[in-house]
Chain A
Amino acid sequence: MYRYDEFDAAFVHQRVEQFRDQVARRLNGSLSEDEFRPLRLMNGLYLQLHAYMLRVAIPYGTLSSRQLRALAEIARRYDKGYGHFTTRQNIQFNWPALADIPDILLALAEVEMHAIQTSGNCIRNVTADAFAGAAADEIEDPRVTCEIIRQWSTLHPEFSFLPRKFKIAVTGAPTDRAAVAVHDIGLKIVRNDAGEIGFEVAVGGGQGRTPMLAKVIRPFLPRRHLLSYLEAILRVYNQLGRRDNLYKSRIKILVHEVGTETLTQMVEDEWALIKDGPVELPAGEQERIGRYFAPPPFANLPAEAPRYEAERHRNEAFAAWTRTNVEAHRQQGYAIVTLSLKPAGGVPGDATAEQMDAIADLADRHSFGEIRVSHHQNLILAHVPRADLPDLWRALVALGLATANIGRVSDIIACPGLDFCSLANARSIPVAQRLSERFRDLDRAHDIGELRLNISGCINACGHHHVGHIGILGVDKKGEEFYQITLGGSSAEDAALGALVGPAFAADQVVDAVETIIETYRAHRRTGERFLDTYRRVGLAPFKESLYATA
């Protein structure tokens, strides 16, 4: 993991004091709310429906056990005893008091964390594949790139007042677990024919009211030019992105309006002038940062773990869990374990302080003290010896974190919705809760197979509904909560935006509608087809028919 040196440590502490002063000036009235707003936003502080919300960055989704314990302590001391893990590898606290924020930031700084650039019209916390450094198909650990970008983008003097927020995601593997196609910039680490490592650079993806998939503007960028190329993209966007209309201010609209070819040309022209200039990393810096992400000291384990095999034969619940929540690791004898934050009837992404403390202990015992946050709002122990899996599973069962539903219908992404968010049209969390109750039977969920069900409470799409295999969007119909359903979206390497299936459903019909969709899929599927495959083959028609024919 990256560790702060004296420069990073000095920086985050100065930043805390700077914000303490800004909060004091807000509280004594010398800053207006309008002037304070961008300052607090650059420190992750939102004003929500009921209270302030603090969003803390978990860079590239990696946490040490010590950091997770600090988050648990903040949840206990300054919040209501829980935290909410988000789709952008952040954690949110929903109930802190403004006057406590500087102390919370100080507690974070003590464990090398911060809330910088988790909101505001700047370059946001950079996200990565949650299986980084562990995935069997990885070309290179994307966190090295993310850390380089994190440092370069931190308080960037030119790019702190962009037309709109700017999100960058990086995947180091061909299997895309970072949703790079729906980011302002999506970087995919690739190898060229000469065997050199570089990036495929895509620009202009995003969700919200105008969802778009990112367009590749450069198939291969040599690694050493990462920062000059990013600076070129950001400069073009800062100068030309629209500032007259909030809804048209993301880079995706600029790409759309000028065209991919023109945008590519503008970026390349700007890049030609700054390439090899002072923005580039000096020799050795990539390697220096890379050393922080060296693999942990793996043991030389046999491929077979008899304890694990025996338990799998004896214990069907355990076996089911290994099929959904355990993935292949690049290192022989190890596995990647996903802890489900999606129990039946629960709030997707919420974890209590006690769970966080217990997970930190389990990480110390079984996974080199490291925890990951996935964009599906689950937690991951990335380096678990296979022989430890039975013990780990029992501990997770006791904590309510072993629901065997990863990638299944009840592994739902949901935004905070009307329960917390002032922009919401409808509630998301109760819909997620009712759906996970309806599909709580795991045998049925396994029969349905891989399914991504995503829910947003309004068109801002924080719950990624556009890229859910089934997407649910809260809309307002004459003051009542209704839900539109889209089908066929994906945020993975086969990225696609969902298509609207038809008129919206009332709150008390939406769970039945999802069930009808799933039954329609089961009636039409061919052997081995996922929901998405069947949908792509048969299209919307059979779903429309079963949903609306009887109505």
Chain B
Amino acid sequence: MPLLKNGSLVDDPWISVADGEPLPAEGAIIVSLTRWQKERANLIARANGLGVRLAAADHAGAIAADLPLLALIALEFPTFRDGRAYSSARLLRERFGFKGELRAVGNVLRDQLLFMHRCGFDAFEVKDTAAVDEWKQAMSEISVFYQAAADGRATAIQLRQQRRPQS
């Protein structure tokens, strides 16, 4: 699966390990929340990067205390219509202060990239390499934002207030 990060396709150093699959001897790995909770002590002992994958139904709060140990959180979109991961992403960034990679996995489509980016995602498993151009378009087609989110883009209200210092 190509990985889109900061607008370009990058090599993905992470290995996503399914539940029940043996862990690779080394390398950065992503495991499910269940596996993390079960094998936490073993996993922490590994030398390489650790990431956890949250299913759409998993609550971000379940991993909050362990965030300092993690370099990556992957949030699943089982279908693009399932919007639960948007809330998880904002909570991870805005409430729990997660600074690592926040990766969108699953049914990740071009027309949702802007919403995802606004909620704090910075990496996207995309279906093909056309994603680079699509990303550029998706990031540039709308420039007015009506609500604060996890991306730090200035909102229309902030811009209006700057324009009118006194009123």
Binding site for B on A (CB under 8 A): 5, 7-8, 10-11, 14-15, 17-18, 21-22, 35, 38-39, 121, 151-162, 235, 238-239, 243, 273, 278-279, 281-282, 284-285, 288
Contacts and interface: CB of A to CB of B under 8 A. Distances in A.
Interface string B100-123: 000000000101101110110000
A15 B156 CA distance: 15
Contacts of B87: 158, 235, 238-239
Given A14-B141, A235-B87, A157 B81 contact: no
A39 B111 CA distance: 8
Given A10-B144, A18-B141, A239-B87, A288 B167 contact: yes
A158 B90 contact: yes
Nearest to A30: B130
Contacts of A279: 147-148
Interface of B: 59, 80-84, 86-88, 90, 95, 109, 111-112, 114-116, 118-119, 137, 141-149, 156-157, 159-161, 167
Contacts of B86: 157-161, 238
Contact of B81 (A121, A151, A238, A281): A121
Residue from A18, A38, A239, A243 whose CB has the most chain B CB atoms within 10 Å: A239
Given A156-B146, A288-B160, 9 more contacts: A5-B160, A11-B144, A157-B149, A158-B119, A160-B86, A161-B112, A239-B59, A285-B161, A288-B167
A162 B167 CA distance: 37
A159 B112 CA distance: 12
Given A14-B141, A151-B156, A278 B81 contact: no
Contacts of A285: 157, 161
B109 A35 contact: yes
A243 to B, nearest CB: 6
Contacts of B109: 35
Nearest to A7: B156
Given A39-B111, A162-B83, A8 B144 contact: yes
Nearest to B158: A282
Contacts of B148: 278-279
A157 B119 contact: yes
Contact of B142 (A18, A121, A153, A284): A18
Contacts of A158: 83, 86-87, 90, 115, 119, 149
A160 B80 contact: no
20 contacts: A7-B156, A8-B144, A10-B143, A11-B146, A18-B141, A18-B142, A38-B81, A151-B147, A151-B156, A154-B146, A157-B116, A157-B118, A158-B83, A158-B119, A161-B80, A161-B83, A161-B112, A239-B59, A285-B157, A288-B160
Contacts of A159: 83, 86
A21 B83 CA distance: 23
A158 B88 CA distance: 9
Given A157-B114, A281-B157, A7 B141 contact: no
Contacts of A243: 82, 84
A155 B146 contact: yes
Contacts of B167: 284, 288
Contacts of B160: 5, 7, 288
B94 to A, nearest CB: 8
B149 A155 contact: no
A438 to B, nearest CB: 45
B59 A14 contact: no
Given A10-B144, A14-B144, A151-B146, A161 B82 contact: yes
Residue from B115, B145, B147 whose CB has the most chain A CB atoms within 10 Å: B147
Contacts of B141: 14, 17-18, 21
Contacts of B111: 22, 35, 39
B10 to A, nearest CB: 24
A243 B145 CA distance: 28
A344 B85 CA distance: 51
Contacts of A282: 157, 161
A160 B83 contact: yes
Nearest to A160: B115
Contacts of B159: 7
Nearest to A151: B146
A15 B83 contact: no
A75 to B, nearest CB: 29
Contacts of B81: 38, 121, 161
Contacts of B83: 121, 158-162, 238
Nearest to B130: A30
Nearest to A156: B147
Given A22-B111, A39-B111, A288-B167, A152 B84 contact: no
Contacts of A151: 146-147, 156-157
Nearest to A15: B142
Contact of A157 (B84, B88, B115): B115
Contacts of B90: 158
A121 B88 CA distance: 18
Contacts of B115: 155, 157-158, 160-161
